[in-house]
């Protein structure tokens, strides 16, 4: 499925926020801007955003961007029409590099989940795991997930804008492999959607089959992929 107003998720948003803009010039004027990663998350020779001036030909300007910045690759969302158009006619090797999902409907759950605010005891046991999952979020909110009166994991939420909330889930190591992640995520998404009318999204920034299955079992559906297009010769 596809949504025209799907928001930019936390991980690519952070990558772009840390990038630097390099003007792509022809005849003394900037015809495009290539935004280069700073190297803290993805390699510094990666273009993570590409803007073209009105009236310019995107494929030609992207080819100029690769040459002038010595970039090795460009990372983009499948719904980015500018980059997809610019890639035409350029010989690059394209690979999947993540995916974005939207919550559609909670399935029948295998486990009954109770969500609650965290306590000091929870912070000692689950705090590091929650902080790791929330690293790219702007204003994360964390709830502890209980199954059969045991704190088994956390769900982390971040309001992207007035409509959308991004979610992540993490299950404590001793409780993994039981399908808890999908039940936690589905419960949290269903409650937030039903209570506040929020649109719920989630993502993965690597192609991880286990994460994909967890999201799908939680009632999430694929919106589109993230791609990396790499130069065949430098």
Structural domains of the chain, ranges and CATH numbers in brackets: 10-99+227-231 (3.40.630), 105-218 (3.40.630.30)
Kindly report the average pLDDT of the chain as a whole number.
92
Cβ atoms of 222 and 6 closer than 8 Å = no
Q: What is the pLDDT of residue 100?
A: 96
Q: What is the pLDDT of residue 1?
A: 44
pLDDT mean over 135-158: 93
Closest-CA residue to 168 (of 220, 122, 112, 226) = 220
CB within 8 A of 31, min separation 6: which ones? Answer: 24, 25, 52, 53, 56, 61, 64
* Cα–Cα distance, 57 to 42 (Å, whole number): 27
The string of pLDDT tens digits covering residues 195-214 is 889 999 999 988 899 999 99
pLDDT band at 191 (very low <50, low <70, confident <90, very high): very high
**Residues of the chain with pLDDT > 70: what percent?**
97
Q: What is the pLDDT of residue 2?
A: 45
**Residues of the chain with pLDDT > 90: what percent?**
77
Q: Is pLDDT at 144 greater than 90 in this prediction?
A: yes
Closest-CA residue to 86 (of 106, 108, 97, 71) = 71
CB within 8 A of 67, min separation 6: which ones? Answer: none
The string of pLDDT tens digits covering residues 24-49 is 998 888 999 999 999 999 999 999 99
Quote the tokens at residue 166. 């991004």
CB within 8 A of 221, min separation 6: which ones? Answer: 1, 101, 102, 104
Q: Is pLDDT at 234 greater than 80 in this prediction?
A: no
The string of pLDDT tens digits covering residues 57-66 is 999 999 999 9
pLDDT band at 232 (very low <50, low <70, confident <90, very high): confident
């Amino acid at each position: 499925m596809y949504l025209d107003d799907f928001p930019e998720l936390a991980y690519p948003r952070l990558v772009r926020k840390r990038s630097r803009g390099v003007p792509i010039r022809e005849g003394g004027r900037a015809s495009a801007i290539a935004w280069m990663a700073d190297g803290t998350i993805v390699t510094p020779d990666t273009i993570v955003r590409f803007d073209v001036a009105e009236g310019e030909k995107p494929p030609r300007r992207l080819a100029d961007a690769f040459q002038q910045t010595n970039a090795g690759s460009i990372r983009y969302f499948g719904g980015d029409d500018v980059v997809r158009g610019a890639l035409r006619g350029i010989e690059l090797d394209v690979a999947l590099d993540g995916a974005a999902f939207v919550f559609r409907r909670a399935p029948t759950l295998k486990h009954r989940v109770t969500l609650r605010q965290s306590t000091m005891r929870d912070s000692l046991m689950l705090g590091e795991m929650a902080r790791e999952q929330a690293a790219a979020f702007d204003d994360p909110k964390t709830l502890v997930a209980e199954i059969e009166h045991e704190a088994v994991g956390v769900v982390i939420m971040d309001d992207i804008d007035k409509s959308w909330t991004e979610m992540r889930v993490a299950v404590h190591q001793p409780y993994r492999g039981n399908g808890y992640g999908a039940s936690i995520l589905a419960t949290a998404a269903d409650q937030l959607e039903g209570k506040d009318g929020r649109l719920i999204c989630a993502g993965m920034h690597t192609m991880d089959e286990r994460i994909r299955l967890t999201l799908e079992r939680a009632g999430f559906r694929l919106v589109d992929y993230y791609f990396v297009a790499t130069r065949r010769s430098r």
